[in-house]
Structure 1
Amino acid sequence: MPAITVSDTSVLPRIAAPALAAVPRPVVQRTEAPSGFEGEGFPVRRAFAGVDLRRLDPFIHMDQMGEVEYAPGEPKGTPWHPHRGFETVTYIMDGVFDHQDSQGGGGTITNGDTQWMTAGSGLLHIEAPPEWLVTQGGLFHGIQLWVNLPRHQKLVTPRYQDLRASSVALGTSSDGGTLVRVIAGDVAGLEGPGSTHTPMALVHATLAPTAALDLPWPAEFNALVYVLSGEGTVGPDRTPVGTGNLVVLGAGDVVSVGASRGQESRLPGLDVLVLGGRPIREPVAWAGPFVMNTREEVLQAFEDFEGGRMGRVPAVHGAPTTLQEG
């Protein structure tokens, strides 16, 4: 898992051990992500399946894409489709993804890069592996997270943030056994490059076998831990977790994660995402690619999409032009 890494974590800032008065966040729910397919048929795990939206707030949805080793001709993406009312955060750990939108934006993200798209008032976009990757195949692994927008920002002007791996804030645990990558938010004095409408934090941590991570976490944020790969524990009661598990945590000041001594031979340790944000606490009306506050607003979004008011698929040589609603 390339993402971004360092050979010697001792050169990184250390996250101080929690104060004696700090309250570790307890586990209130543990789920296992079911597998499915997205877009043109690439495999995903539905990370938030089975969890009440009120516990996820301000998040809506998250897919773990891969980890998959494609043979030549197998890599797949998603066709053109619309979004309105939220943000998509695509973080690529292995492989390459191209993206393009109906407003002329686009780019390429690869190992450790993040494409943060604020859909806002609405646009069309497409995500797909580049032609050379389709031809030769290769490893692909990433996540896509949907972050809700509050009512007063649902219709903001769409924008992109291309966050390069080199801009991610890096640190290590107090025992030096964990590489902490902060993509968004301010965590233990490490500030990620992502600019967020909704106050939140997104962290990718890799724990060596037996390493422990005690991550200070804002009390006003919710807290979720998703296991990308490996085996370990979460919370003060050391709830066991493995690949594809999501853990919802209760109130407190610290998120605690530990890596098991024994890991799969192909894995260096335990890889987790830690994420959370300030709950918006507004009604959610969600249908396919639109996340609004009311049913009427969702119906309006479909009407605007069908009427071409979210843009048109650009005439780009060789690009597919099939639209997908969901």
Structure 2
Amino acid sequence: MPAITADTLTLPRIAAAGPSDTERPVRSITTGPRGHEGEGFPVVRAFAGVSSADLDPFVHMDQMGEVEYEPGEPRGTDWHPHRGFETVTYMLDGRFAHQDSHGGGGLITDGATQWMTAGSGILHIETPPAELVESGGVFHGIQLWVNLPRKDKFATPRYQAIEGDEAKLLSSEDGGALVRLIAGDIAQHRGPGATHTPITMAHSTIEPGARLNLPWNRDFNALVYVLSGRGTVGPVGHPIHQGQLAVLGPGDRISVSADAGQDAHRSALEVLILGGKPIREPVFQYGPFVMNTKMEVIQALEDYNGGKFGAIPPDALMPHRV
């Protein structure tokens, strides 16, 4: 898992809990079912079975892969529309190419993040580059959908390319865990992602037997998703493993520990930690549109069919076939 790494002994340390801090308890742990997305790439539906109230302001998340493709097998998505939310694509391993109808685009690879605000409407494509399709290789990433409040549903579309080395790197108190802060604030440190909806997003590698204890905004919800490995979460140590999501209750801190024994091919516990300020507005989702009402989704469909989301560029990136 070659997402950006560093020597934790040289990084800013996250301070220990204060005497009045409370640990966030575990409210639920769910296991994401497996499925396929786009043109057939495998995913884990990380939020399946979790109430929208517990997820708010997040709408949807897929763990893409982890898969070792043979030559000719890599798949992505073709051109498709979005309106009313932000898509966040974080690549842990492998490469994904992006292009959109508002001029955004680039290659997302090994620890990089693409942050796309669909807002009023956008067309885009995410697909493995031709050389990866030809050669095959490892593909592993996350796609997260972050809702936009009613006032920002029609924001001007925006694209942010956040390279892996731009993430803010932090260390746990004892140096046993590396935290890559992609967006939001942790312990008075800020990640590079610019968001309409206040959220925090971090990826942590926790070494076997180590414990991560993070301060967390009391106004945010808190989610811990296991990308790889085994460990425990919460103040009483609920077991959790790859493909599972923990929803945490209120409090000041999030604690996650890695089991002392990990599988030989998974040397550490890898977790994605998410939280945001709930929007608490009605959500009506239909496919790639996340709006407040059914009528707004119908309007989105009409606008898309009427060409109001922009045009596919003449030099458009297209899925590669062998």
TM-score with structure 1 length normalisation?
0.97
Distance, in Å, in 2 between the alignment partners of 1:206 and 1:130 is 28
1:55 aligns with 2:54: yes
| TM-aligned CA deviation for residue 307 of structure 1 | 1.1
| TM-aligned CA deviation for residue 105 of structure 1 | 2.1
Counterpart AA for 2:132: L
Distance, in Å, in 2 between the alignment partners of 1:312 and 1:180 is 39
Distance, in Å, in 2 between the alignment partners of 1:188 and 1:31 is 28
Aligned counterpart, 1:324: none
Aligned counterpart, 2:198: 199
Aligned counterpart, 1:31: 30
| Conservation of the 8 A alpha-carbon contact between 2:69 and 2:139 | yes
Distance, in Å, in 1 between the alignment partners of 2:275 and 2:316 is 41
Distance, in Å, in 1 between the alignment partners of 2:163 and 2:173 is 26
| Conservation of the 8 A alpha-carbon contact between 1:170 and 1:190 | no
- Name the CA shift for 1:113/1:317 in 2 (closer, same or farther; >3 Å): closer
Consecutive aligned runs of 4 or more in structure 1 exceeding 3 Å deviation: none
1:145 aligns with 2:121: no
| TM-aligned CA deviation for residue 317 of structure 1 | 6.5
Aligned counterpart, 2:85: 86
Q: Deviations over 1:200-233 (max 9, x none)?
A: 1001000000000110000000000000000000
Aligned counterpart, 1:272: 271
Aligned counterpart, 2:249: 250
Q: Deviations over 1:224-261 (max 9, x none)?
A: 00000000000001000000000000000000000001
Q: Structure 2 stretches of 5 or more lacking a match? A: none
| Conservation of the 8 A alpha-carbon contact between 1:291 and 1:298 | yes
Distance, in Å, in 1 between the alignment partners of 2:209 and 2:308 is 54
1:229 aligns with 2:228: yes
| TM-aligned CA deviation for residue 318 of structure 1 | 6.9
Aligned counterpart, 1:291: 290
Counterpart AA for 1:127: E
Aligned residues: 320
Distance, in Å, in 1 between the alignment partners of 2:204 and 2:228 is 11
Q: Deviations over 1:273-304 (max 9, x none)?
A: 00000000000010000000011000000111
- Name the CA shift for 1:157/1:179 in 2 (closer, same or farther; >3 Å): same
| Conservation of the 8 A alpha-carbon contact between 2:76 and 2:319 | no
| TM-aligned CA deviation for residue 188 of structure 1 | 1.0
1:220 aligns with 2:219: yes
- Name the CA shift for 1:166/1:320 in 2 (closer, same or farther; >3 Å): closer
Aligned counterpart, 2:4: 4
TM-score with structure 2 length normalisation?
0.98
Aligned counterpart, 1:108: 107
More moved, 184-193 vs 200-209: 184-193
| TM-aligned CA deviation for residue 20 of structure 1 | 1.8
Counterpart AA for 1:114: T
Aligned counterpart, 1:72: 71
| TM-aligned CA deviation for residue 37 of structure 1 | 0.2
Q: Deviations over 1:96-140 (max 9, x none)?
A: 110011223211110000000000000110000100000001111
| Conservation of the 8 A alpha-carbon contact between 2:125 and 2:317 | no
Q: Deviations over 1:77-107 (max 9, x none)?
A: 0011000000000000100110011223211
Distance, in Å, in 2 between the alignment partners of 1:236 and 1:320 is 46
| TM-aligned CA deviation for residue 312 of structure 1 | 2.2
More moved, 8-17 vs 312-321: 312-321
Q: Percent identical across equivalent pairs?
A: 63
Distance, in Å, in 1 between the alignment partners of 2:250 and 2:303 is 41
| TM-aligned CA deviation for residue 33 of structure 1 | 0.5
Counterpart AA for 2:72: G
Q: Deviations over 1:136-157 (max 9, x none)?
A: 0111100000000000000000
Q: Structure 1 stretches of 5 or more lacking a match? A: 322-326
Distance, in Å, in 2 between the alignment partners of 1:227 and 1:85 is 28
> How big is the alpha-carbon RMSD for the aligned residues of Structure 1 and Structure 2?
1.1
Distance, in Å, in 2 between the alignment partners of 1:318 and 1:21 is 54
Residues 144-183 of structure 1 correspond to what in structure 2 (within 5 A)?
144-183=143-182
Q: What SS does the corresponding residue of 2:310 show, helix, strand or coil?
A: coil
Aligned counterpart, 2:302: 303
Counterpart AA for 1:319: M
Residues 120-135 of structure 1 correspond to what in structure 2 (within 5 A)?
120-135=119-134
Q: What SS does the corresponding residue of 2:79 show, helix, strand or coil?
A: strand
